[in-house]
Amino acid sequence: MEKEFVPYELALRLKELGFNEPCFGRWWFRADMHKLNEEELEILRSNYFELPEHYILAPLFQQAFRWFREKHSLQHEVYYLDDLIKNGYKITDALTNTELTEFQYKDNYFELRGYEFEEAELDCLKKLIEIIESK
Amino acid sequence: MEKEFVPYELALRLKKLGFDEPCFSWHASKTHGLAYGKVIKSDLIQDAVLAPTFSQAFRWFSDKHNLHGELYTVDMGAIEYCFQIRDLYSENYIYDNFMGAGDSYSGTFDSFEESELECLKKLIKIIENKIQ
């Protein structure tokens, strides 16, 4: 079930962008005196207003994508690429009907490679966050 | 939060197809709506049914039946939504509700959620037909 949830680092960036919807999980985080960061996912229905200290909400991937659709009119699409036998993604602004990104590929400088589905979702979510952060 | 979960009728059909994974919610019965909490099938009594999230259900079809449901958009002046289903063994598309020929054409959908729901119904139907 853990793979349904957005990883800690992205959950934190979503929080900073204003995500505060009820979730089915929460991330606990602590940086101790030896600078060893610890983070742990707790699967528990959680609400922004009742979060204990050191916790942030852990949205599901589908929740995060819905949030970008509803709050920012950004539509994502993970898409299969026949040529690469892998996936890519694109992001569209649904208000203006313009593509903000063309299909994105993993690029190792020598060749373009597609993503596994989950990798594409993760990278797509990062890109959505970057788009709003840069605004 | 209800919109994260597969509706009762489809959850029941998924159960009949063998869906049995830990979930965050369950339908207490056809009429009693959703209850929330970490749950597995053996926790449930009587008419209760596991309620997977949409992404859990889609992942289950990919993992168990090698069928991958994909939503996509088309530009019809405004963005509209469609879906297609790919067989992960053959890497071929076996269904496309917009680009597909003949009786697979069912037009576009106004929202991502409608398209997602119809795609899930189609995935269930494909496996139900295989089992019959």
Tokens for B104, please give them: 């697979």
Q: What percent of chain A has pLDDT over 90?
A: 53
> For chain A, how many structural domains are there in total?
2
Same domain, B127 and B65: yes
Is the pLDDT at B105 greater than 80, yes or no?
no
What digits encode the pLDDT tens for the residues A1-55? Answer: 888 999 999 999 999 999 999 999 999 987 666 666 678 899 888 998 889 888 9
> pLDDT: is B42 or A35 the higher one?
B42
Contact status of A62 with chain B (Cβ, < 8 Å) = yes
Cβ(B83)–Cβ(B118) under 8 Å? Answer: yes
User: Which residues from A are below 8 Å from B55, CB to CB?
Assistant: 4, 60-62
A positions 76-105 inside 8 Å of B (CB) = 77-80, 82, 85, 92, 94, 97
Same domain, B44 and B65: no
Is the pLDDT at B109 greater than 80, yes or no?
yes
Average pLDDT value for residue range B99-117: 83
> Within a domain: residue A34?
yes
> Within a domain: residue A83?
yes
Residues A5 and A23: their CA atoms lie apart, in Å, by 10
Residues A88 and A71: their CA atoms lie apart, in Å, by 24
> pLDDT: is B100 or A10 the higher one?
A10
Is B55 within 8 Å of A22 when comparing Cβ atoms?
no
Among candidates A44, A58, A75, which has minimal Cα distance to A14?
A: A58
Which residue is closest to B110 within chain A, CA to CA? Answer: A94
Domain of A98, in residue numbers: 73-134
Is the pLDDT at B101 greater than 60, yes or no?
no
In this complex, how many residue pairs, one in chain A and one in chain B, have their CB atoms less than 8 Å apart?
55
Cβ(B115)–Cβ(B70) under 8 Å? Answer: no
| pTM score | 0.90
Helices B8-16 & B54-65, crossing angle to 10 degrees? 20
